[in-house]
């Protein structure tokens, strides 16, 4: 076939890169864009238009597009694939550095940032897919969930059994917002989700915090996992058993695929870049961000930034096929607690309710009254669940260990905990109400389903 048309460019690194690209294409037999796409293969293969744009465009193409093209053309030209990739990587970095006057390290960061952008751009190019393409993936997920083999591939366990039953775990592409008042335990809950994924199930996770430094986060992780009082750790009052627990836990956590970031600048662009890079390098599955108020977007004014930041995170989750959990502050509005939706307590609640897939509010009855009858308990109010029922799940808050834990529930006369399902009128449910069936209860079908499911679940795991 005739060679692909090349755009006129001024002499420089970009022109040199494009010359080398067209020379390699010639050496590969001037392969058509359709054949190049076929050689790359897979669902993530670029479209014909994207490949044509690489050769004919007048701007620097993303490295994510250039790399697979260089690989397949090198194979067709019977050249050393690794050497060609390295040669073009150097030329691409020089072109990127030349265009932005950046250093080599900054050019590398730019490369990953461009990769993240290109993922979204390529998804936009393929606006729709036929149902015949989509159906196998849906059936694979349903089958994996049914036989409990979905961990890591489709679902990520939350670490709290009843929350797993209610939500089915964290799904790919989900944006989850965890809200609560200051000191209600948002960070502890996010760290629990992180421990469950990374330490227990060995799934790669990234925890980014604007609230604490690395030492504080590591101390909390050790305290929660080893069940050693965080106060004893800070004040040096640990006994021999505490030291033994710490030693065993540190050994187990050392190999966990967990990364912690406490960046001085909290920009959405940096988060997208880091997540994209880790998905490629280590297969990142879960991204946790503490908290929403620290993230900035340099491209939009503050009054518009929150919803746009949430939408970018949602797009990032769907594109990279990961789950993203982010914490947000709730305002103290006692007078509205009985009339408004639980999610209305959150700062920027309108934006959060529109964009998030799951919204969980942390409510601790003993936060204002230490002598409260329910001291030591915490309600996780699932105020929004895009693909399932909403409910209030009661768990144990072990503040001295900086962690939340499962509470026992009662099913068929066996004490295994409490779960309270929301109705049209949330106030009609008393705090102590459990899984008892009630006449005229709108949530009866859902309650019966989870009651039966929980019974089968307990029989399975025992």
Which pLDDT value is given to residue 384?
A: 92
Helix 63-76 and helix 13-27, axial crossing angle in degrees, nearest 10? 30
Report, as an integer, the average pLDDT of 278-298. 87
Q: Which residue has the higher pLDDT, 83 or 427?
A: 83
Report, as an integer, the average pLDDT of 327-354. 74
Using pLDDT thresholds of 50, 70 and 90, give the confidence band for residue 96. Answer: confident
Report, as an integer, the average pLDDT of 99-106. 44
Using pLDDT thresholds of 50, 70 and 90, give the confidence band for residue 451. Answer: low
Which pLDDT value is given to residue 380?
A: 92
Rounded to 5 degrees, φ, ψ at 426 are -60, -25
pLDDT at residue 260 is higher than 90: yes
Q: Which residue has the higher pLDDT, 281 or 195?
A: 195
Which residues on neighbouring strands pair with residue 155, listed in sequence order?
151, 171
CA terminus-to-terminus distance, the chain = 65
From the candidate CATH numbers 3.10.510.20, 3.40.50.720, 3.40.50.300, 3.40.50.1580, the one assigned to the domain spanning 153-407:
3.40.50.300
Which pLDDT value is given to residue 68?
A: 85
Report, as an integer, the average pLDDT of 197-206. 93
Residue 33 near residue 12 (C-beta atoms within 8 A): no
Report, as an integer, the average pLDDT of 359-372. 89
pLDDT at residue 92 is higher than 90: no
pLDDT at residue 157 is higher than 60: yes
Which pLDDT value is given to residue 420?
A: 46
- CA distances in angstroms from 300 to 116, 168, 291, 347, listed in the order given: 19, 35, 19, 19
CA 392 – CA 413 distance, rounded (Å): 21
Which of 220-229, 333-342, 422-431 has the lowest average pLDDT? 422-431
Q: Report the predicted TM-score, pTM, of the whole model to 2 decimal places.
A: 0.65
CA proximity to 159, closest of 207, 199, 209, 217: 199
Report, as an integer, the average pLDDT of 106-117. 49
Query: What are the domain boundaries of the chain?
Result: 13-125, 153-407, 410-420+430-462
């Amino acid at each position: 076939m005739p060679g692909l048309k090349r755009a006129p460019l001024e002499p420089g690194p970009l022109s040199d890169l494009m010359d080398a690209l067209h020379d390699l294409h010639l050496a590969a037999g001037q392969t058509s864009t359709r054949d190049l796409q076929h050689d790359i293969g897979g669902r993530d293969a670029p479209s014909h238009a994207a490949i044509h744009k690489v050769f004919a465009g007048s701007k620097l193409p993303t490295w994510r597009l250039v790399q697979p093209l260089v690989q397949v053309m090198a194979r067709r030209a019977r050249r050393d694939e690794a050497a060609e990739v390295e040669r073009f990587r150097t030329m691409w970095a020089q072109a990127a550095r030349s265009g932005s006057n950046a250093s080599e390290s900054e050019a590398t960061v730019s490369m990953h940032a461009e990769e993240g952008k290109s993922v979204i751009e390529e998804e936009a190019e393929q606006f729709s897919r036929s149902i015949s393409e989509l159906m196998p993936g849906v059936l694979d997920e349903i089958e994996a969930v049914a036989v409990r083999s979905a961990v890591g591939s489709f679902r990520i366990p939350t670490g709290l059994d009843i929350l797993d039953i209610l939500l089915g775990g964290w799904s790919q592409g989900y944006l989850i917002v965890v809200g609560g008042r200051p000191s209600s335990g948002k960070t502890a809950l996010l760290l629990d989700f992180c421990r469950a994924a990374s330490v227990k199930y060995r799934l790669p996770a990234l925890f980014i915090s604007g609230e604490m430094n690395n030492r504080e986060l590591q101390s909390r992780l050790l305290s929660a996992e080893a069940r050693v009082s965080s106060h004893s750790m800070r004040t040096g009052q640990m006994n021999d058993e505490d030291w033994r627990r710490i030693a065993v836990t540190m050994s187990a956590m050392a190999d966990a695929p967990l990364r912690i970031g406490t960046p001085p600048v909290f920009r959405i662009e940096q988060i997208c870049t880091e997540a994209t890079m880790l998905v490629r390098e280590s297969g990142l599955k879960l991204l946790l961000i503490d908290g929403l108020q620290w993230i900035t977007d340099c491209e939009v004014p503050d009054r518009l930034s929150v919803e746009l930041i949430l939408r970018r995170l949602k797009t990032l989750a769907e594109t990279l096929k990961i789950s993203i959990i982010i914490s947000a502050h709730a305002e103290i509005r006692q007078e509205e607690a009985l009339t408004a939706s639980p999610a209305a307590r959150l700062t920027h609640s309108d934006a959060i309710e529109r964009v998030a897939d799951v919204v969980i509010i942390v409510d601790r009855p003993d936060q204002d009254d230490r002598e409260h009858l329910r001291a030591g308990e915490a309600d996780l109010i699932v105020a929004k669940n895009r693909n399932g029922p909403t409910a209030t799940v009661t768990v144990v808050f072990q503040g001295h260990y900086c962690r939340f834990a499962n509470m026992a529930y009662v099913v068929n006369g066996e004490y295994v905990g409490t779960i309270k399902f929301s109705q049209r009128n949330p106030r009609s449910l008393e705090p102590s109400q459990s899984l008892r069936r009630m006449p005229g209860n709108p949530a009866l079908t859902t309650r019966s389903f989870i009651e039966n499911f929980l019974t089968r679940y307990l029989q399975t795991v025992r």
